[in-house]
């Protein structure tokens, strides 16, 4: 299926959940949905269009909002589903009930941004070290790291 | 009675720190758990403070084996952001280095698989041949790893006539030697029997758990970014997607060997049809606000980068997803109901490049609650002993 | 007399332990490539050992991440005296490209004392052999 066919089919079958669709380049489609309708939309993609391969889940810090992008791949390109959640109440529903392979990406989202994923099957932190102080989310724009002074053995003080 | 076995983070077999924790019942593994984070270096945060050109060198050092794949994926994405069209000759040279990297990575993996299966001479032979490829790469770019041949808009160094002849000669030598090994491998029933039936993963599970690369292709799923979403010059080169349908470690070995031969063919085609011209176009320092998704087929699977720019000379957000991370849930699934003695082989079969995944095995004796650290070399010795006692599987056949 | 014999055997054939503290893997593959027939470090009597308790020399690569810092200190203490540490690669010397990241301590010498530094990104197998031989010459 090429780009136009995918856009047609998505609009006709799942059009009530979509806020906007963009096709900025060959084989790249970006669809924006509301956070409440996300899981139904992805279940619809799986059932009707057979798009099941989640490449990764990215988070972007936009100040007032967090934008979450779900990158899917299919046999003729890549489709991305994006949604916005407010910074003051960062909750999003887990998609692991539809696609079990997305678990690790959701755990990373929780560690790096502090986004709380509801009904996630395994809520443990993924990449931050043991003993990392809670409440520090490295990829937020307002989190800065001050490097402590290094001691050079046998060198100048 | 359930035991839990820890492995890692320092173990001699796998060169990288990870920690696996497995719950075992006798010799059968019931559950497995992986602790990442030993290799987390915070690259995504660092990338936001470096300019576009500096980021090429940063993304190269995400991994030492597939360094060109990360650098090229990033550079491709930035070229799309800035709407540049690199010239054909530059793209041919980039693709040549990418295929040479695939050859060296698969030879490395074959050596490691031979070592884990107890076939040490195979390890020494393949790594000796890998040196031929490293010499070619050093001749083209100046370094054995981290080639730094990409720049935004093309490549940095050109190939002249003399180097082209040397590359074709080197490929001929490698092809002869590879055919010799695969004859040995196919006629060695102990080697084939060791790999058959281990680490089974059905096609439906591969689809559910989003596995990539040779793991998916060995379960009869023809998923390859070079065909699905062609980048560089792959839409002009004739090649086939290699699959196998045995769904186990033997299938993965066969897929990688087939890919090795395809890569030889692709490199010869590139060298025989190299077009004349420039190797790079000039690139601006700042990029307009835009976003792009860039995909690349690394030797281990699909590599995805998401880049967002905001009008300055630094990226707003860089997200990297390396192929080994996508294969982790599938690994946990494969380890369940397997034997302890098969752990080194299963883990080596996904071709782990943990440094790409940014991200350690622990066994706890369920009966008495005491913790035992079992070393990977002990596991390998256990595997070899157990394997010697079993009769060889006579019905395991080399599938091609 | 026995001491001199032991010292001679240690110099003639040091046993090394390979430690990866969060590196990109290039230096580690070069260390393993030093064992392969082209560079062949075993002709110097150097053996790659599995456990810290058998090792004389620790060969370490990679910038040290916070998660692995305690494990490195534990491994250093498990190695019996006399022991030597070789830091291979630019990452182990000072952090290479990753300096300033939130999860990195800096070079290896922020955590354990180091005897020999081998620069390079990655350090070639010839350079690694050169470094090991220089260490033996100092003993």
pLDDT reported for residue B357: 52
Per-residue pLDDT at B30 exceeds 80: no
Give yes or no for residue B243 having a pLDDT over 90.
no
**Taking CB atoms and an 8 Å limit, are B63 and C21 in contact across chains?**
no
Is B352 a residue whose pLDDT tops 80? no
Distance from CA of C35 to the nearest CA of A (A): 32
pLDDT score at A156:
57
- Taking alpha carbons only, the member of B101, B89, B261 closest to residue B175 is B261
**The pLDDT value given to residue B7:** 64
Tell me which chain C residue has its CA closest to the CA of residue B378: C50
Indicate yes or no: CB of A150 within 8 angstroms of CB of C106.
yes
**Reported confidence tier of residue B366, pLDDT bands at 50, 70, 90:** very low
Q: Which of B18-27, B154-163, B244-253, C37-46 has the lowest mean pLDDT?
A: B18-27
Set of chain B residues whose Cβ sits within 8 Å of the Cβ of C65: 37-41
Q: Which two tokens stand for residue B50?
A: 């470096």
Could you tell me if B15 lies within 8 Å of chain C, comparing CB atoms?
Answer: yes
pLDDT at A131 over 70: yes
**Predicted confidence (pLDDT) per residue in B92-124, tens digit:** 999 999 999 999 899 988 888 887 777 788 888
Whether B135 and chain A come into contact, CB under 8 Å, resolves to: no
pLDDT tens-digit map of A106-129: 988 888 888 888 888 888 888 887
How does residue A69 score in pLDDT terms, banded at 50, 70 and 90? very high
What is the per-residue pLDDT for B388? 64
Chain C interface disruption, residue of B6, B13, B17, most C CBs within 10 A: B17
pLDDT at B393: 56
Share of residues in chain B with pLDDT > 70 (%): 82
User: Which of C103, C104, C112, C116 has the highest number of chain A CBs within 10 A, making it the mutation to test binding with A?
Assistant: C103
Query: Cα separation of C44 and C67, whole Å?
Result: 35
Q: Return the residue in B11, B46, B55, B61 with the most chain C beta carbons within 10 A, the one to mutate for interface testing.
A: B61
Domain residues for the domain of A67 are 3-118
Number of Cα atoms under 13 Å in the Cβ half of residue B323: 28
Q: Is the pLDDT of residue B372 over 60?
A: no
Closest-CA residue of chain C to A127: C67
- Asked if residue A13 belongs to a domain, the reply is yes
Query: Cβ of C100 and A129 within 8 Å?
Result: no
Over residues B164-189, the pLDDT tens digits come to 999 999 999 999 988 887 787 777 77
Chain A and chain B share a number of CB contacts under 8 A equal to: 87
Confidence of residue B264 (pLDDT cuts 50, 70, 90): very high
- Is A135 part of any domain? no
Query: Domain containing A30 — which CATH number?
Result: 3.30.460.80
pLDDT digits (tens, 9 = 90+) for B195-219: 887 778 888 888 888 888 888 888 8
- Look at residues B51, B91, B378 and name the one whose alpha carbon lies nearest to residue B235: B91
Q: Which domain holds residue C52?
A: 13-138
Q: Quick check: B367 pLDDT over 50? A: no
Q: What is the mean pLDDT of residues A43-71?
A: 88
More confident residue, A24 or B24: A24
Contact at CB, C25 and B45, closer than 8 angstroms: no
* A48: number of Cβ within 10 Å: 13
Instruction: Assess B358–A contact: CB distance below 8 Å, yes or no.
Output: yes
Chain C residues closer than 8 Å to A140 by CB: none
Q: What residues 107-146 of chain A have any CB closer than 8 A to a CB of chain C? A: 128-132, 138, 145
Q: For residue B371, what pLDDT is reported?
A: 40
- Candidate from A104-118, C33-47, C74-88 with smallest mean pLDDT: C33-47
Cα nearest neighbour of B10 on chain C: C19
**Contact between C22 and B17 using a beta-carbon 8 Å cutoff:** yes
> What is the structure's pLDDT at B110?
86
Write down the ipTM of this complex.
Answer: 0.90
Give the one of B130, B145, B375 whose C-beta lies nearest to C26's C-beta.
Answer: B145
d(CA C23, CA B139): 26
Are the beta carbons of A150 and C66 separated by less than 8 Å?
Answer: no
Distance from CA of A104 to the nearest CA of C (A): 19
Listed in sequence order, the residues at least 6 apart from C103 whose beta carbon sits closer than 8 Å to its beta carbon are A128, A129, B40, B41, B42, C65, C66, C67
* CATH classification of the domain holding C132: 3.40.50.12280
Establish if C47 belongs to a structural domain: yes
Q: How many domains does chain A have?
A: 1
Domain count across chain C: 1
- For B34, the 3-state DSSP assignment is strand
Using the predicted structure, report yes or no on whether residue B38 has a pLDDT greater than 60. Answer: yes
Among residues C58, C123, C52, C51, the alpha carbon closest in space to that of C85 is found at C58
pLDDT grade for B380, boundaries at 50, 70 and 90: low
- Cβ distance of C101 and A145 shorter than 8 Å: yes
Give the residue with greater pLDDT, B89 vs C69.
Answer: B89
pLDDT digits (tens, 9 = 90+) for A25-41: 888 889 999 888 888 88
User: B124 touching C, CB under 8 A?
Assistant: yes
B144·C22 Cβ contact <8 A: no
pLDDT (tens digit per residue) in B137-153? 999 988 888 888 999 98
Distance from CA of B236 to the nearest CA of C (A): 32
Domains of chain B: 3-40+324-389 (3.30.390), 43-199+226-236+273-322 (1.10.645.10)
Inform me whether the pLDDT recorded for B75 exceeds 90.
Answer: yes
- Model confidence band, residue B74 (pLDDT cutoffs 50, 70, 90): very high
pLDDT tens digit string along B122-137? Answer: 888 888 888 889 999 9
Share of chain A above pLDDT 90, in %: 8
> What is the predicted pLDDT for the residue at A104?
86
Q: Residues of C with CB below 8 A from A128's CB? A: 103
Contact A153 C100 (CB under 8 A): no
Residue C76: Cβ within 10 Å count: 17
What mean pLDDT is predicted for residues B285-300?
89
Share of chain B above pLDDT 90, in %: 16
**Mean pLDDT computed over every residue of chain B:** 80
Q: Is residue C51 part of a domain?
A: yes
CB contact under 8 A, A151 and C110: yes
Cα pseudo-dihedral B139, B140, B146, B150, rounded to 10: 160
Alpha-helix runs per DSSP H in A100-157: 103-113
Q: Tokens at residue C54, please?
A: 């058998």
The answer to whether B188 faces chain A, any CB pair under 8 Å, is no
Q: What tens digit of pLDDT does each residue of C91-111 get? A: 888 888 888 888 887 788 888
Segment C125-133 mean pLDDT: 87
């Amino acid at each position: 299926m090429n780009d136009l066919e995918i856009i047609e089919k998505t609009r006709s079958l799942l059009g009530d959940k979509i806020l906007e669709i963009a096709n900025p380049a060959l084989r790249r489609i970006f669809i924006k949905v509301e956070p409440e309708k996300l899981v139904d939309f992805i279940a619809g993609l799986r059932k009707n269009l057979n798009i099941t391969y989640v490449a990764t889940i990215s988070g972007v810090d936009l100040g007032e909002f967090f934008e979450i992008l779900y990158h899917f791949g299919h046999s003729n390109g890549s489709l991305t589903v994006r949604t916005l959640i407010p910074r003051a109440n960062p909750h999003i529903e887990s998609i692991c009930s539809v696609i079990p392979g997305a678990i690790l990406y959701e755990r990373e989202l929780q560690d790096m941004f502090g986004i709380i994923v509801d009904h996630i099957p395994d809520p443990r932190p993924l990449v931050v070290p043991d003993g990392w102080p809670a409440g520090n989310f490295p990829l937020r724009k307002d989190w800065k790291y001050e490097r402590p002074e290094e001691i050079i053995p046998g060198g100048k003080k | 009675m359930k035991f839990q076995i820890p492995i890692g983070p320092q173990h001699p077999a796998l060169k990288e720190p990870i920690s696996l924790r497995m719950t075992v019942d006798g010799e059968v593994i019931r559950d497995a758990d992986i602790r990442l984070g030993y290799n987390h270096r915070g690259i995504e945060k660092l990338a936001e403070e470096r300019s576009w050109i500096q980021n090429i060198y940063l993304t190269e050092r995400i991994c030492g084996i597939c360094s060109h794949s990360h650098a090229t994926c990033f550079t491709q994405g930035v070229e799309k952001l800035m709407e540049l069209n690199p010239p054909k000759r530059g793209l041919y040279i980039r693709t040549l280095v990418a295929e040479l990297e695939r050859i060296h990575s698969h030879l490395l993996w074959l050596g490691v698989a031979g070592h884990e299966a107890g076939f040490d001479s195979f390890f020494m032979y393949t790594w000796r041949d890998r040196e031929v490829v490293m010499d070619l790469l050093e001749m083209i770019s100046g370094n054995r790893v981290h080639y730094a041949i990409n720049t935004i808009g093309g490549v940095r160094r050109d190939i002249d006539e003399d180097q082209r002849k040397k590359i074709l000669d080197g490929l001929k030598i490698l092809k002869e030697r590879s055919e010799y090994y695969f004859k040995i491998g196919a006629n060695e029933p102990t080697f084939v029997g060791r790999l058959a039936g281990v680490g089974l993963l059905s096609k439906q599970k591969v689809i559910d758990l989003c596995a990539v690369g040779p793991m998916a292709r060995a379960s009869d799923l023809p998923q390859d970014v070079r065909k699905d979403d062609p980048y560089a010059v792959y839409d002009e080169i004739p090649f086939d997607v290699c699959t196998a349908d045995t769904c186990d470690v033997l299938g993965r070995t066969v897929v990688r060997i087939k890919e090795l031969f395809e890569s030889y063919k692709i490199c010869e085609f590139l060298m025989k049809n190299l077009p004349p011209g420039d190797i790079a176009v000039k690139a601006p320092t700042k990029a307009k606000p835009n976003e792009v998704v860039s995909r690349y087929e690394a030797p281990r699977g699909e590599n995805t980068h998401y880049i967002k720019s905001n009008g300055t000379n630094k990226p707003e957000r860089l997200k990297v997803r390396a192929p080994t991370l996508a294969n982790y849930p599938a690994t946990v699934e494969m380890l369940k109901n397997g034997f302890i003695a098969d752990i080194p082989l299963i883990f080596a079969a996904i071709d782990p490049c943990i440094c790409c995944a940014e991200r350690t095995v622990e066994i706890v004796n369920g009966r008495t609650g005491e913790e035992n650290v079992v070393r990977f070399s002990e596991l390998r010795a256990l595997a070899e002993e157990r394997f010697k006692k079993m009769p060889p599987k006579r019905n395991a056949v080399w599938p091609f | 007399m026995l001491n001199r014999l032991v010292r001679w055997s240690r110099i003639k054939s040091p046993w090394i332990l390979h430690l990866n503290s969060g590196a990109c893997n290039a230096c580690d593959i070069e260390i393993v490539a030093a064992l392969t027939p082209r560079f062949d470090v075993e002709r110097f009597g150097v053996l790659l050992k599995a456990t810290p308790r058998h090792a004389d020399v620790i060969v370490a690569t990679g910038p040290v991440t916070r998660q692995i810092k305690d494990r490195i200190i534990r491994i250093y203490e498990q190695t019996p005296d006399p022991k030597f540490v070789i830091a291979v690669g630019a990452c182990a010397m000072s952090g290479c490209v990753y300096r300033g990241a939130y999860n990195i301590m800096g070079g290896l010498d922020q955590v354990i004392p180091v005897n020999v530094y081998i620069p390079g990104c990655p350090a070639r197998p010839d350079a690694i052999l050169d470094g090991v031989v220089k260490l033996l010459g100092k003993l």
